[in-house]
């Protein structure tokens, strides 16, 4: 089956620093990738849709200057949390859409803790 | 507005006790209904896609069915390793990029 990786799996940073999370589709090309945020015992909240070679589309209420998304190739999208604060601590999950099956496959997630 | 409601929120089963999880949906033109399994601290794992009413898919102890208003995930003779949160999501025909997720059913299977 289609595999999506995320790196790092866990990161702890100080308030005010920036953190970059990578999402890769390992065995298929993904023109569209998605970034989600998940709070404890809650479902996934879509933050933005990332399209290769163009600007990301952000959901209402998501600050585009705080959550920078770059989709530079058909297998890689990155999410940078800029000037992170404790309230940004969360579980971030990416997904990639495999066009051959029109199915989103998810990465394992990144646990971000901002001190 | 596209919407997905899952029930029950939580389900506790004895090993071997079969049951069903429900996913009710409202969407403007269904392009696909997806079932995922999520273990704590991990990303969702794809299980099934259903496209039209009457369609059924099976994988080991799981069977997913679809009507025009809802989908069921039937679990036959569950084992403790089936314990997880099961998420249902729909993809509408007019907003094909997004998945609309339900809040999930937390399943616990006890030996």
Report pLDDT digits (tens) over A43-87: 899 999 998 888 899 999 999 999 999 998 999 999 999 999 999
Q: What is the pLDDT of residue B18?
A: 98
Q: How far is B18 from chain A (nearest CA, A)?
A: 24
Confidence check: pLDDT of B94 > 90: no
For A43, the closest of B42, B46, B101 (CB atoms) is: B101
User: Is B44 close to A106, i.e. CB distance below 8 A?
Assistant: yes
* Residue of A24, A33, A97, A106 to mutate for B, most B C-beta atoms under 10 A: A106
Please tell me the predicted confidence (pLDDT) of residue A100.
87
Cβ neighbourhood burial of A37 (10 Å; 0-12, 13-18, 19+): buried
Percent of chain B, pLDDT > 70?
98
Average confidence (pLDDT) over A32-48: 92
Return the structure tokens found at A14: 């100080």
pLDDT attached to residue B28: 86
Q: Do B34 and A109 touch (CB under 8 A)?
A: no
Q: How far is B60 from chain A (nearest CA, A)?
A: 16
Chain B residues near residue A48 by CB distance under 8 angstroms: none
Q: Which of B49, B97, B101 sits opposite A44 (nearest CB)?
A: B101
Q: How many CA atoms lie within 13 A of B85 on its CB side?
A: 19
pLDDT at B96 exceeding the cut of 70: no
Q: Please give the average per-residue pLDDT across A85-103, as a whole number.
A: 93
Looking at residue A52, its pLDDT comes to 87
Task: Note the pLDDT of residue A75.
Answer: 93
Q: Which residues contact B36 (CB under 8 A, 6 or more apart)?
A: A106, B44, B45, B46, B47, B86, B87, B88, B89
Instruction: Give B18-35 pLDDT, tens digit per residue.
Output: 999 999 999 988 999 999
Question: Is B32 at the interface with chain A, CB within 8 A?
Answer: yes
Q: Check CB contact under 8 Å for B103 and A93.
A: no
Task: Say which of A2, A95, A108 has its CB closest to residue B42.
Answer: A108
Can you give the length of chain A in residues?
115
């Amino acid at each position: 089956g289609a595999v999506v990786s995320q790196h790092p799996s866990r990161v702890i940073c100080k308030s005010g620093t920036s953190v970059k999370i990578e999402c890769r589709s390992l065995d298929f090309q993904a023109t569209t990738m998605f970034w989600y945020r998940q709070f404890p015992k809650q479902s996934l909240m879509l933050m933005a849709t990332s399209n290769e070679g163009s600007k990301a589309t952000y959901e209402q209420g998501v600050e585009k200057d705080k959550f920078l998304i770059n989709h530079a190739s058909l297998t890689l999208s990155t999410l940078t949390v800029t000037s992170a604060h404790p309230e940004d601590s969360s579980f971030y999950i990416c997904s990639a859409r495999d066009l051959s099956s029109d199915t989103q496959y998810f990465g394992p997630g990144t646990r971000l803790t901002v001190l | 507005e596209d919407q997905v409601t899952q029930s029950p929120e939580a389900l506790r089963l004895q090993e071997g006790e079969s049951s069903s999880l429900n996913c009710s949906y409202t969407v403007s033109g269904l392009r696909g209904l997806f079932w995922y399994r999520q273990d704590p601290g991990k990303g969702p794992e794809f299980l099934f896609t259903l496209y039209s009413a009457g369609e059924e898919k099976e994988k080991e102890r799981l069977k997913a069915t679809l009507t025009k208003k809802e989908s069921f995930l039937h679990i036959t003779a569950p084992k403790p390793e089936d314990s997880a949160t099961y998420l249902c999501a729909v993809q509408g025909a007019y907003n094909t990029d997004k998945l609309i997720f339900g809040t999930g059913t937390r399943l616990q299977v006890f030996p």
